[in-house]
């Protein structure tokens, strides 16, 4: 029995396992088949079109003075004085005295030379008299020496030599005063008071400030794109090719205009480049378009863009699209990649200029692809140009202009109040406050147009922030006006005197433009300043304290000061500002 069980039991276990396996296999879930999605890469593309344009050539160089000299001494002596302008970086005018040298030695030489002239003049007169005396004797034949003519000629020569020596001494004395040969600036100073100098001693280095020059290197390909005056006479006859110079100062970029005036004598043997010279007139002048622009000082490193010749059928392509020196990836109508070699005329800083290998309307790939194969299908999107958001700057300029207008009107208001006698002010039944109607319609229209233009060019987030700020300002003004009205009502009950009711704010927050709300706040400040001057000191001392319903301390002070006034002007937006708000 046990032997049969040992044989049957394993067989039953195997059969049970097979049955369980069959049941599991039959009850398995059905497999859902999904198609494999191949995600196509997304690339940025830009369409290109040919046009006639001037290709700017980029280069760089260092600013040097147009005229620079080494100032040397022509006389010897001790330096008596040095001009305050003759210092490193100092400016001076043409003809200004820079250095004075002791001239005592040359004064002595002048006195000696004058004595020699007098002596030679006396000898010349004596020789002349002797010659005339011998000439009166008749019948005697004499030669020139015997007649005295040779002695007279010798005396005249001695007189001329003495006079020349006097002029030389006077010229040496004149050279003891060193004057500036042109309007310029001091680069280096090499002499000071008390120093003894000799002829040829270096006094310093100066340069003119009327013209600045920049040496700009050009390669052979760049020379083929610009007009370079290879002869000096050609540079003098023509105006020269325009060039724009850009330099950094204080973290900001500034521009100067110049012209290519000449090319140097030949190619540089080390780098095989030709250097052209750009000239900038009056580099230290101010520019109304760039008020903060510094002078173009010597030694400044600048980047230059030289205007090139006009070329027809040129494509402008962003430089980041270039591959392997002269290849571009393009997308066809089926959105498949293909590669093409192009003829590159010039590679600029941010763009390349192509004159062959492209057709109008073709889409050039700008994205960097890790794997790019010809015929690969892609998804495309147009590359958006970079835009600079200058709305905040324009808004700041607009608001600063409005503030200047309001400050000017407030100043006029204060001057008129001070000039009015106190008795005249107290005799008036009503006080005239500052209103926005005092601004002329022309000024309002100009401000309204600027405000409308600034609001139109702002993005949504900037508009929301500006609207929130205006609402806060208007709420503050309304709270101040309400508090003033309450205090005036209580003051009327205490004094039992008829007072005029405070004008209510008629213009709602939503109807006021940003500038009107800002002006309204300044009106309240103007009324506060005026109230201080009009309040009668004795009357104020006798009045009981009035509790201010406003929570803040600043508003309590404002309300107590304005409470004694008899009139408050409404802050109503003029029609031009209301039109701008709409």
Half-sphere exposure (Cβ direction) of 352: Cα atoms closer than 13 Å: 22
- Are 498 and 492 contacting, i.e. CB atoms less than 8 angstroms apart? yes
Same domain, residue pair 135 and 86: no
- Residue 495 belongs to a domain: yes
Closest CA to 452 of 415, 522, 398: 398
Helix axes 104-135, 149-174, angle to 10 degrees: 160
Same domain, residue pair 561 and 487: yes
- Residue 45 belongs to a domain: no
Picking from 148, 175, 202, the residue at the C-terminal end of a domain is 175
CA distances from 462 to 450, 472, 511 (A): 16, 16, 19
Structure tokens at 138: 């008749």
Same domain, residue pair 411 and 491: yes
Position of tokens 């011998």?
A: 134
**Exposure letters 61-84 (e unless 16+ CB within 10 A, then b):** bebebbeeeebebebbbebeebbe
- Residue 37 belongs to a domain: no
Q: What was the pLDDT predicted at 393?
A: 38
- Residue 462 belongs to a domain: yes
What angle (nearest 5°) sits at the alpha carbon of residue 45, between those of residues 42 and 48?
165
- Are 216 and 305 contacting, i.e. CB atoms less than 8 angstroms apart? no
Same domain, residue pair 420 and 522: yes
Question: Which residue(s) pair with 505 in the sheet?
Answer: none
Same domain, residue pair 278 and 255: yes
CA dist., res. 524 & res. 505, Å (int): 12
Same domain, residue pair 259 and 341: no
E strands in 192-331: 196-197, 202-208, 211-218, 241-249, 252-263, 274-281, 301-306, 310-318, 327-331
Instruction: Say which residues have a Cβ less than 8 Å from residue 307's Cβ, sequence separation at least 6.
Output: 54, 56, 226, 241, 242, 243
CA dist., res. 27 & res. 99, Å (int): 113
- Residue 508 belongs to a domain: yes
Please report the sign of the dihedral spanned by the C-alpha atoms of residue 122, residue 123, residue 128, residue 130: positive
Instruction: Say which residues have a Cβ less than 8 Å from residue 254's Cβ, sequence separation at least 6.
Output: 246, 247, 248, 290, 292, 293, 294
Structure tokens at 215: 């040496």
Picking from 382, 412, 434, the residue at the C-terminal end of a domain is 382
Domain containing residue 158: CATH number: 1.10.287
Residue 381's SS3 state is: strand
Same domain, residue pair 396 and 528: yes
Taking 3-state DSSP, the helix, strand and coil percentages for the chain, each rounded to the nearest 5, stand at 40, 25, 35
- Are 284 and 220 contacting, i.e. CB atoms less than 8 angstroms apart? no
Same domain, residue pair 471 and 329: no
- Residue 213 belongs to a domain: yes
Domain containing residue 318: CATH number: 2.40.420.20
Same domain, residue pair 484 and 570: yes
Half-sphere exposure (Cβ direction) of 251: Cα atoms closer than 13 Å: 0
- Residue 357 belongs to a domain: yes
Same domain, residue pair 323 and 403: no
The domain total for the chain is 4
Q: What was the pLDDT predicted at 34?
A: 76
The full DSSP string for 330-352 is: EE-TTSBEEEEE-EEEEE-SSEE
Which residue range forms the structural domain that includes residue 126? 103-175
Question: Which residue(s) pair with 62 in the sheet?
Answer: 301
CA dist., res. 246 & res. 244, Å (int): 7
Closest CA to 211 of 248, 252, 240: 240
pLDDT by position in tens, the chain (length 582): 577 777 777 788 888 888 888 888 788 787 777 777 777 888 899 999 998 888 888 899 999 999 999 999 999 999 999 999 999 999 999 999 999 999 999 999 999 999 999 999 998 888 888 888 777 766 555 555 566 778 888 888 999 999 999 999 999 999 999 999 999 999 999 999 999 999 999 999 999 999 999 999 998 888 888 887 766 555 455 678 889 999 988 888 999 999 998 888 788 888 889 899 999 999 988 888 888 899 998 899 999 988 888 888 899 999 989 988 889 999 998 889 999 999 998 888 888 899 888 999 899 999 888 888 888 888 888 886 644 333 333 334 444 444 454 455 555 655 555 444 444 444 433 334 444 455 566 666 666 666 666 666 666 666 777 777 767 776 766 777 777 777 667 666 655 444 344 344 444 444 444 444 555 666 666 565 555 554 443 444 444 333 333 334 444 444 444 444 434 444 444 444 444 444
- Residue 25 belongs to a domain: no
What predicted TM-score, i.e. pTM, was given to this entire model?
A: 0.53
């Amino acid at each position: 029995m046990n032997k049969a069980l040992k044989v049957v039991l394993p067989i039953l276990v195997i059969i049970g396992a097979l049955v369980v396996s069959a049941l599991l296999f039959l009850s398995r879930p059905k497999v859902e088949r999904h198609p494999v999605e191949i995600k196509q890469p997304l690339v940025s593309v830009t369409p290109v079109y040919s046009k006639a344009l001037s290709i700017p050539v980029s280069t760089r160089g260092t600013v040097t003075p147009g005229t620079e000299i080494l100032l040397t001494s022509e006389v010897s002596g001790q330096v008596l004085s040095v001009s305050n302008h003759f210092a490193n970086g100092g400016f001076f005018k043409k003809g200004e005295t820079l250095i004075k040298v002791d001239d005592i030695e040359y004064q002595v030489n002048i006195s000696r030379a004058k004595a020699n002239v007098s002596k030679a003049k006396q000898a010349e007169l004596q020789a002349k008299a002797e010659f005339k005396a011998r000439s009166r004797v008749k019948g005697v034949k004499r030669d020139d020496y015997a007649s005295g003519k040779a002695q007279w000629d010798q005396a005249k020569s001695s007189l001329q030599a003495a006079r020349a020596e006097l002029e030389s001494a006077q010229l040496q004395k004149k050279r003891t005063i060193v004057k500036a040969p042109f309007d310029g600036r001091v680069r280096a100073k090499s002499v000071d008071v008390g120093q003894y100098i000799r002829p040829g001693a270096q006094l310093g280095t100066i340069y003119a400030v009327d013209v600045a020059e920049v040496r700009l290197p050009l390669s052979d390909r760049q020379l083929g794109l610009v007009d370079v005056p290879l002869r000096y006479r050609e540079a003098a006859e023509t105006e020269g090719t325009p060039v724009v110079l850009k330099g950094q100062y204080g973290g900001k970029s500034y521009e100067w205009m110049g012209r290519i005036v000449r090319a140097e004598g030949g190619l540089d043997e080390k780098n095989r480049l030709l250097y052209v010279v750009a000239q900038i007139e009056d580099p230290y002048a101010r520019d109304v378009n760039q008020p903060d622009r510094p002078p173009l000082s010597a030694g400044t490193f600048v980047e230059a863009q030289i205007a090139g010749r006009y070329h027809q059928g040129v494509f402008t392509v962003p430089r980041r699209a270039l591959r392997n020196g002269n290849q571009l990836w393009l997308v066809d109508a089926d959105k498949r990649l293909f590669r093409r070699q192009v003829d590159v005329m010039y590679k600029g800083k941010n763009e390349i200029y192509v004159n062959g290998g492209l057709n109008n309307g073709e889409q050039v790939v700008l994205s960097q692809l890790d794997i790019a194969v010809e015929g690969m299908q892609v998804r495309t999107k147009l590359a958006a140009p970079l835009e600079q958001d200058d709305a905040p700057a324009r808004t700041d300029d607009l608001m600063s202009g409005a503030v200047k207008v309001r400050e000017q009107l407030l100043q006029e208001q204060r001057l008129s109040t001070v000039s009015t006698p106190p008795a005249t002010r107290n005799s008036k039944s009503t006080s005239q406050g500052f209103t926005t109607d005092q601004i002329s319609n022309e000024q309002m229209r100009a401000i309204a147009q600027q405000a409308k233009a600034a609001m139109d060019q702002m993005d949504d987030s900037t508009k929301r922030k500006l609207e929130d700020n205006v609402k806060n300002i208007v709420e503050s003004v309304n709270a101040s006006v309400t508090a003033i009205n309450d205090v005036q009502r209580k003051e009327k009950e205490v004094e039992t005197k008829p007072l005029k009711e405070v004008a209510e704010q008629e213009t709602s927050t939503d109807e006021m433009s940003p500038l009107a709300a800002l002006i309204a706040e300044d009106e309240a400040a103007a009324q506060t300043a005026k109230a201080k001057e009009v309040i009668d000191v004795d009357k104020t001392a006798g009045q009981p304290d009035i509790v201010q319903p406003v929570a803040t301390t600043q508003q309590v002070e404002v309300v107590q000061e304005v409470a004694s006034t008899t009139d408050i002007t409404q802050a109503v937006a003029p029609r031009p500002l209301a039109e701008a708000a709409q």
